[in-house]
Every structure is written in structure tokens, then in C-alpha cells.
Structure 1
């Protein structure tokens, strides 16, 4: 059953779904940057950059500090940790399921002494397995 309430992981994945926001993350891996620097880097307006940053900040992927008229942004690893935890949980679940499937598939098939096939005239023919 789906839950209508967005989770922290939903917010992170939503933020990372946009190419410009991923580009901001990539740029900030090299160090802090001002909003104006990020806008130039993206080739978009400062207003558009601020909107992207709001989404990134809401998902705790980026944090910013304002000094006078300059807002400087830097990475915030807590959002990625939440996404990583969500992925780790899913990976563990699927690894267990696949291990069980592998166990089932690894079991020997039931032994059949013979199988019946029909000859061209429709009469049964016994063959050994």
C-alpha cells in the first residue's frame, strides 16, 4: 500500500531527479560556491538557481549561509546519508530474497523414472530420463 506522506528519501530522490540540481551537487563537491557562481555555472538566472537550491536545502543535500548580500552554499551530507540508508535497506531485502531464490533453484529437480512422449502415430512411447 502506498503512503501519501513523502519520506526523507522521497525528498532526496526528487531533488536528485533534476539534472541542474545534480550539477549543483557536482559543483559543490569541489567546495563552497555563491548563488551567483552557481547560476553562472548552470547558465541560468539567479532566481532559477535559488529555486533549485530551495529544493536541495529542503532535502538536506545543501546548506547555505548568508553574509551580507552574499549567500554561500555547501554540501550537507545528511540528505545523502538518508538516501543511502534507504538504498541499503532495499539492497539487503533483495539480497535475502535472491539468496532464497538461489537456494530453491539450486535444489535438485525431482527424479522421474521415465517420461511419456507420443510417437508420430499418437501412441505413448516410454523414454528414460
Structure 2
């Protein structure tokens, strides 16, 4: 897996998805607990939108856990990915001055279901 990259938001989305599923919470219920529409929450969980700090705290509360536990899981997953040669990056978003510069330099970004499968395979070795 050379030059594969993913974003911090995508990793957080997979962490939340796995935790949500382990607690038997449907995506629509999670969205409602956070005061979001289901499509908005889905974009967060798939890594297509970035979480705010407020949303991270809301997500932890909605799942009956702490921000610290959520953060620990996130860090653990990031470390696992990095140990397996996958770079975790902060993608340039929107119309920032770096957006056009970075353009094609991002390489292949692993997101959503592919990242979930990758994390699962790495963590079950």
C-alpha cells in the first residue's frame, strides 16, 4: 500500500461508525442525538465533512462515552494506520490558498467503507 493517504476526519468517522454499531445505534438515531440530519451525519461518518470539536463532544455523549475515550480510540487507529504505511493527513479544504497548490499532490485518499475495511483488517491481525 504505497502512497495511500486518508484524513483525520475519515479515521474519526470509522471510529465513530464502529463504536455506534457496537452499541446498536442506527445512523439516524445518532444524527438525532447530535441534532443533525441523517445525511449530514452520514457525511461526517464517511469522512466527506470534517468534525468540529463541538461535534466530537456531542458524538461521545450520544454514544455514552467520554471525549477522552473517543480521542484515545482515534489516536490508536491513526497510529495503526501509520505503522502500516498509510499517511494520515489534513486535506486542504475549500478555497484556501493551499487548495490549488496541493491539488494533485494528495495522491489517492482512502475514505469511507474502504478505510473501515482497512482498519478492521489491520486491527484483527
More helix by share: 2
- State whether TM-score is above 0.5: no
* Structure-2-length-normalised TM-score: 0.32
Instruction: Give the number of the structure with larger relative contact order, counting CA–CA contacts within 8 Å between residues 6 or more apart.
Output: 2
